[in-house]
Amino acid sequence: MTNDAHARPVGDEGEELLYDPDVPTPTHAERARTLVTSIGTGTLCTIAKEPKGFPYGSFVTLALDDGNAVLLISELAEHTKNLRADARGSLLVAEGGKEDPLANGRVTLLGNCKNIAEGEENERARRSYLGSHPNAAYYVDYKDFSFWKLQVESVRYIGGYGRMSWVSRDDWFAAEPDPIAPHARSIMDHMNNDHAPRMVDYCKAFTKARDTTAASMTAVDRYGFEMSALTSKGPRPIRLTFSQLIATPEDARREMAALAKQARGLLAKS
């Protein structure tokens, strides 16, 4: 199992990496927990009763409760009938939105599923689920619906081309979702729309991409951010780190401003 922080992008083989490969980066476990937490929908795969033995995939909504997936499903659903006969299941959670679907991130959780009996565990599952899906409040008490839990045993993470691994169970349960994830899109839009020259300065001052003519931010997390730098050899990946972990958009704004000031100083001396 590999859980390397930042795999070299596919298609970049043989070319010199333009940034420090040892900069702090989310682990695959952290990326996987962040993705599953932020999406809340997936494809539940069970072993079909009819036609017997075939994999059966169905769309579900989910929440995480201490790392295990909580589902609210109906007794009328085929997947519920399947789980009552065979508890094994997997849950695929996938990103959308990119032009190339295979460049999207996705996570597959594998484990045994159990119906959660009334009691403290059921109440905790209810809180977790309704916290992620408040609109479910109108049917959560229907008699044919009940909470199930997929107890995670194995995790497969794919972050797009060239970034994939099996995440150990221990790493999965120890990981925390990135606090910047809910704000990442607005941070990237702000930087790309309002501070494009600043990002060119970042590339020229802090990396080997000194011939950068344009740059766009492609990801941001608690540790740092990633850019695509337009160089004489075409677009190249860049990653820079913050001086400390961040948790809010205000933290990100402060760190970006400090890096801009430092970059201007370095470029003025060059």
Query: Positive or negative, the Cα torsion across 255, 257, 260, 264?
Result: negative
Closest C-alpha to 151, from 106, 88, 77: 88
Phi, psi of 156 (to 5 degrees): -115, 125
In terms of domains, do 84 and 195 share one? no
Contact call for residues 108 and 156 (beta carbons, < 8 A): yes
Compute the distance between CA of residue 226 and CA of residue 214 in angstroms, rounded to an integer: 14
Helix axes 249-269, 196-206, angle to 10 degrees: 60
Q: Is residue 262 one of the residues assigned to a domain?
A: yes
Beta bridge partners of residue 155, listed in sequence order: 109, 167
What is the domain extent for residue 211? 181-269
- The residue from 174, 200, 231 where one domain ends is 174
The per-residue pLDDT for 11 is: 40
Q: Rounded to whole angstroms, how far apart are CA atoms 149 and 95?
A: 22
Q: Residue 10: what pLDDT? A: 39
Domain termination residue (choose one: 174, 202, 227): 174
Query: Does 58 map to a domain?
Result: yes
* Judgement on whether residues 142 and 258 belong to the same structural domain of the protein: no
Same domain, 42 and 121: yes
Distance of alpha carbon 109 from alpha carbon 53, whole angstroms: 20
Q: Report the pLDDT value the prediction gives residue 2, as an integer from 0 to 100.
A: 36
Please tell me whether residues 49 and 92 are part of one structural domain. yes
Question: Which token pair is 268?
Answer: 């003025």
Q: What is the pLDDT of residue 100?
A: 87
The reply to whether 21 falls in a domain is no
For residue range 43-59, what is the model confidence (pLDDT) as tens digits? 999 999 999 999 999 99
How much of the chain exceeds pLDDT 90, in percent? 89
Return the CATH number at 226.
3.20.180.10
| 72-86 pLDDT per residue, tens | 999 999 999 999 999
Nearest to 195 by CA among 259, 138, 103, 120: 259
Q: For residue 156, what is the enclosing H or E element?
A: strand 145-158
**The pLDDT value given to residue 123:** 96
**Residue 12: predicted pLDDT:** 52
Beta strands in 116-169 (DSSP E): 145-158, 164-167
Judge whether 8 lies within some domain.
no
If asked whether residues 50 and 144 sit together in one domain, one would say yes
Domain co-membership, 150 together with 187: no
Q: For residue 14, what pLDDT is reported?
A: 61
Confirm whether 2 is domain-assigned. no
Average pLDDT, integer, range 234-242:
97
In whole angstroms, what is the distance from residue 93 CA to residue 105 CA?
9
65 within domain boundaries: yes
Rounded to whole angstroms, the Cα distance separating 233 from 214 reads 13
Same domain, 185 and 67: no
For residue 187, what pLDDT is reported? 98
Q: What is the pLDDT of residues 90-130, one digit of tens each?
A: 999 999 877 788 889 999 999 999 999 999 999 999 999 99
- Residue 190, classed as helix, strand or coil, is helix
Among residues 115, 150, 174, which one ends one of the domains? Answer: 174
pLDDT value of position 97 = 77
pTM of the model: 0.89
Q: Which has the closest alpha carbon to 259: 212, 224, 211, 214?
A: 224
Indicate whether 200 belongs to any domain. Answer: yes
> Is 51 in the same domain as 94?
yes
Whether residues 134 and 213 share a domain: the answer is no
Torsions phi, psi for 166 (to 5 deg):
-85, 125
Structure confidence by residue, pLDDT tens digits, 240-268: 999 999 999 999 999 999 999 999 999 99
Residue 66 included in any domain: yes
The residue ranges of DSSP E strands in 206-251, in sequence order, are 214-220, 224-231, 234-241
8-40 pLDDT, tens digit each:
443 455 678 999 999 999 999 999 999 999 999
pLDDT(5) > 80: no
Are residues 226 and 150 part of one domain? no
Alpha-carbon span 268 to 236, nearest angstrom: 24
What is the tally of structural domains in the chain? 2
What was the pLDDT predicted at 267? 96
What does pLDDT average to over the chain?
Answer: 93
Token pair, residue 82, equals 């399947």
